Amino acid sequence: MGNKLPNILFFGIDSLRRDHMSNYGYSRLTTPHIGKYAEGGVTFENCFSPHIPTTPGYSNMLTGRDCFGTDVVGLSQPKIIDGVPVLAEVLRDRGYNTTCVGFQGNAAGRGYDKYISFSGWGPDREDGRAHKAEALNEVAIPELERLAKEDKPFFLFLRHMDPHSPYLPPEPFQHMFFQGDPCDPADHRMEKVYAFRPFADYIASWIPKGCTNPDYVIAQYDAALAYMDASIQRILQKLADLGIEDDTIVVFVSDHGETLYDHDCYFDHHGMYEPTLTVPLIIRWNGHLPAGKRIPDICQLKDFMPTLLDLMGVETGLPFDGRSLMPLIRGEEREPEPEFYITECTWMRKHGWRTPEWKLIVSLEPDFHFKPMLELYNLIKDPLENHNVADENPEVVEMLRARMEAFIAKREKEVGRTDPIYRNFLANDRPFASSEEAYYGKYIGGIEDAVKLQKQDK
């Protein structure tokens, strides 16, 4: 490679739940190819996406800033605050060819020389299944071949959508993890899913008619991961066949996780519970990063961009909120950041504070799940967050609230703006007055509506 900067092959996988990946300890073999490839690099075991969902998640990841630095907390916010460059812009200014597959329209999706779309959502073929990863491969592999021929380093961003609903993996994957009866009339667990008006029509548009068993739907999510994993192997093999693997940094990461049958947030990624906040982060660069290293320290998406640039030896002088993880990779000390601020502002408007032991969730307006305005979970005694202990621990609530408010005040002073969670509402630029109003005011109809939401098209 000489003095040429490394290529970057970036797998940005939407809604990838870390604890459903086999290389992160899941019992089902969902990601064997990603796992095998990760053995040649560094795996971060406790990476968090603190600001939910997609738009703030990618904004943090691709700027190195937190939500105060980006001014983004909601899905439909069209832009990051002026003067904050994204990763693709930084790399393009340094001579990179930049190509984005399937990410156009997002606030963080700037700075690409070329944008390529692919049909990546619902059933688009005769079998009625969603061939999302294959559709991506059809455009991504020729683009990888083109970029490899250029005399410039490249940044190829691939946005995989397979873990995002609808979960419709094609054969032979769809029956990989479930051979029972998805429509057992004695099973009533899906009734509450179909009764949840805001999402009922959307979920019914892709779940088999008469499905009563949520385990079937979860198995389809897992099968979608396995299908995507097999399709990703084609890209990894192409990278090796082109002879540029050693000159390329390969990244696997997600903007947020996914809730399945958890916390009444059915088959989506709203709420600030652990399945949504936890994401994978894997980085491999042959000959430059240790193989087989797993790092247990807590990190956040805001740490990714400073880490990547540090690894590449690129100095920018940018004032990141995140910090490079390279000291941990080298086995050196890095001051931990074990507690942090969390937000969600798309389907529910909440913020909170997470420590290794506690999670505080404070609603800023009534939500459509009729949840209490204050939630507190002991993450050590109750890691699944099933028992709200706010009433029993008022002193803990006040302690965590004080720490959160002190952090907000500090960051507001540093950026000269109020917390964006206070300036973004869920309906008509005002808070919902009640959970009933939120319940009847928030609605997603079918697959087409989900696509529009992701494209910021209200």
Residue 44: is its pLDDT beyond 70? yes
The answer for residues whose C-beta is within 8 angstroms of residue 398's C-beta and 6 or more apart is: none
Q: Which DSSP string corresponds to 394-435?
A: HHHHHHHHHHHHHHHHHHHHHHTS--GGGT--SBTTB--SSH
pLDDT tens, 51-94? Answer: 999 999 999 999 999 999 999 998 888 899 999 999 999 999 99
Region 276-300: mean pLDDT is 97
User: Model confidence at 449, in pLDDT bands (50, 70, 90)?
Assistant: low
CA-based torsion, 40, 41, 45, 47: positive or negative: negative
pLDDT given for residue 446 in this prediction: 58
> Tokens in use for 336?
């931990």
Residue 5: is its pLDDT beyond 70? yes
Which amino acid is present at 338? Answer: P
pLDDT given for residue 450 in this prediction: 54
pLDDT given for residue 70 in this prediction: 96
> What domains can you pick out in the chain, each with its CATH number?
7-329 (3.40.720.10), 348-441 (3.30.1120.10)
CB-based contact 144:97 (threshold 8 Å): no
Q: Residue 150, Cβ neighbours under 10 Å: how many? A: 10
> Tokens in use for 368?
């459509």
Helix/strand/coil for 53 = coil
As a whole number of angstroms, the distance between CA 311 and CA 158 comes to 21
pLDDT given for residue 106 in this prediction: 82
User: Model confidence at 120, in pLDDT bands (50, 70, 90)?
Assistant: low
Average pLDDT, the chain: 93
pLDDT given for residue 2 in this prediction: 47
Region 434-440: mean pLDDT is 94
The answer for residues whose C-beta is within 8 angstroms of residue 434's C-beta and 6 or more apart is: 366
Residue written as token pair 């601020």: 341
H or E, element range at 92: helix 87-92
Residue 201: is its pLDDT beyond 80? yes
> Tokens in use for 281?
């982060």
As a whole number of angstroms, the distance between CA 260 and CA 17 comes to 10
Q: Tell me the pairing of strands 7-13 and 248-253.
A: parallel
pLDDT tens, 7-26? Answer: 999 999 999 999 999 999 99
pLDDT tens, 337-357? Answer: 999 999 999 899 999 999 999
User: Model confidence at 335, in pLDDT bands (50, 70, 90)?
Assistant: very high
Q: Which DSSP string corresponds to 187-199?
A: --TTHHHHT-HHH
pLDDT given for residue 1 in this prediction: 45
User: Model confidence at 125, in pLDDT bands (50, 70, 90)?
Assistant: low
Residues written for the chain: 458
pLDDT tens, 132-190? Answer: 999 999 999 999 999 999 999 999 999 999 999 999 999 999 999 998 999 999 999 99
